Amino acid sequence: MHGQYLMKQFRVKGVRGVDTYVRLLGENTEGYVILITSVSDTGVRETEETISRHLFDACVRTGYLNECRELIAAHIA
């Protein structure tokens, strides 16, 4: 595994009014398994997806994903 990202959380640079976070859960043959949590005025939405290693690495490298040291739960409470 690329290990350096496993179980880390990232904040997504994106839509105003929606805080979106990505947590790496694991890895499979297609890429990384991630949990996407979006928090907005209308509530919390979570989805589990797979993203290619290449795309994920590019998102981190370009700053679209920034490592977040705070727990997602702190933003939901």
User: How do residues 10-64 score in pLDDT, each as one tens digit?
Assistant: 999 977 888 999 998 888 899 999 999 999 889 999 999 999 999 999 999 999 9
CA atoms of 36 and 22, how far apart (whole Å) = 5
In a domain, 75, yes or no: no
Please report whether residue 26 resides in a domain: yes
Does 68 fall in a domain? no
Q: How confident is the model at residue 74 (pLDDT cuts 50, 70, 90)?
A: very low
21 in any annotated domain: yes
pLDDT at residue number 77: 47
45 within some domain? yes
The answer to the question of residue 73 being in a domain is no
Domain boundaries, position 16: 1-50
Q: How many domains does the chain have?
A: 1
| Residue 51 CB neighbours (<10 A) | 17
Q: What's this model's pTM, rounded to 2 decimal places?
A: 0.78
Q: How far apart are CA 74 and CA 76, in angstroms?
A: 6
12 within domain boundaries: yes
Domain presence at residue 11: yes
